[in-house]
Amino acid sequence: MNFPVLYLRKGAERRLRAGHLWVYSNEVDTRRSPLTDFEAGAQAELRAFNDKAMGTVFVNPHALICGRLISRNAAHGMTPQRLTERVETALALRERLFDKPFYRWVFGDSDGLSGLVIDRFDDVVVVQISTAGMEQMKDPVIRAVQRLCHPRAIILRNDGKMRKVEGLDTYVQQVHGPEIDRLTVEENGVRFEVPMDGGQKTGWFYDHRMNRQRLQTYAPARRVLDVFSYVGGWGIQAACAGATRVTCVDSSAGAIESVHHNARINGLDNIDTIEGDAFEALKALCEEKEKFDIVVLDPPALIPRRRDQKAGEEAYARLNQLGLRLLDRDGLLVSASCSMHLSQDKLTDIIRSSGRKIDRFVQLLEQGHQAPDHPVVPGIPETDYIKSCFVRSLTGFL
């Protein structure tokens, strides 16, 4: 295939050679290849400053990440056939990992498909496209999904924030099958139903699957507080594992309604809910001198951008102090983060500091990671974003 050429500045190829797949606009030699010469979503050959071929990229001249590597072979662009092969390769991994069809089928760059996320809910597939390049491949994506798993329904959930950055319209559209109003999820032996209207991201967060499974080990005969509960992913699973009482906290009335719905379909009658801001709810529980055996903190990304680092770390610190205060003498804090800019070591240090401030002796029992249907590319730190700490908290111990 004959592609226009995108040239890099001198030295800008080092990060790509180390394994990364993104090109930033300030890394482009705009004298030799003005970005204004490219249309959003176009494919181009990428060359180093010394004219050595680096591969092919999707280009978006309007975005900070203006190039996304498709292949390290300069002759290989993204064709419908190549896209289908990569979607099929991704599917083969998930089918080896899980015995039922509930998983993240495609995880963007980690599966060689930058800008594409596919989540599978049995015979319903939700597709999320976030880049101009992948938007050009929308029809081949739909055809690949149809050919590989013959779903009852396919939904395009193209309403993420990244689309605005890429200059794309946002929309939600069902492109195949009968109208779907609820997604069914089965995770760790527990069933959930998530409404399509108002659901977050693709509707479910498969990334903490293994961490929620680990929680089940600690849950029997314990009182559990699930903060930022969404539709009850952590709390409902804890209850099904034998927790005596579970309280779910979320600011969304729709999410709270879904918690009660999911409790009913699992035959549970020991679920309480609190609708409201998580920080305010935790403060009120502290003032009421409530105590729990397990507190789960799984907030949205509190550090969405690097410039939010300081404020975000302070928010994590406040959150973890409140969570620790609510634990009984020998309690378990499950502190999770999906902030790409917060490292596992930093989260651990925040918990350490929070424990010292309120005179708690803390023991780090386990550290959790994202599930294997969210594989990490070692050269792309951005693909490694989920972390969790299972921390035992003791009062008056030392």
pLDDT in tens, 351-397: 999 999 999 999 999 999 999 999 999 999 999 999 999 999 998 77
- Within a 10 A sphere around the Cβ of 264, how many other Cβ atoms? 12
- Taking each continuous run of H as one helix and of E as one strand, the counts in the chain are 11, 19
Catalytic residue list contains 338: yes
Alpha-helix residue ranges (DSSP H) falling in 150-252: 161-165, 209-218, 233-240
pLDDT in tens, 27-81: 999 999 999 999 999 999 999 999 999 999 999 999 999 999 999 999 999 999 9
Whole-angstrom Cα Rg for the chain:
23
pLDDT at 396: 75
Strand ranges (E), 12-99: 22-24, 42-47, 53-59, 65-71
pLDDT at 306: 85
Per-position DSSP letters for 228-260, written without gaps between them:
S-TTTHHHHHHHHTT-SEEEEEES-HHHHHHHH
Q: Check if the beta carbon of residue 265 is closer than 8 Å to that of residue 234.
A: no
Instruction: Please identify which of the residues 66, 149, 248, 338 carries the catalytic annotation.
Output: 338
- Within a 10 A sphere around the Cβ of 111, how many other Cβ atoms? 24
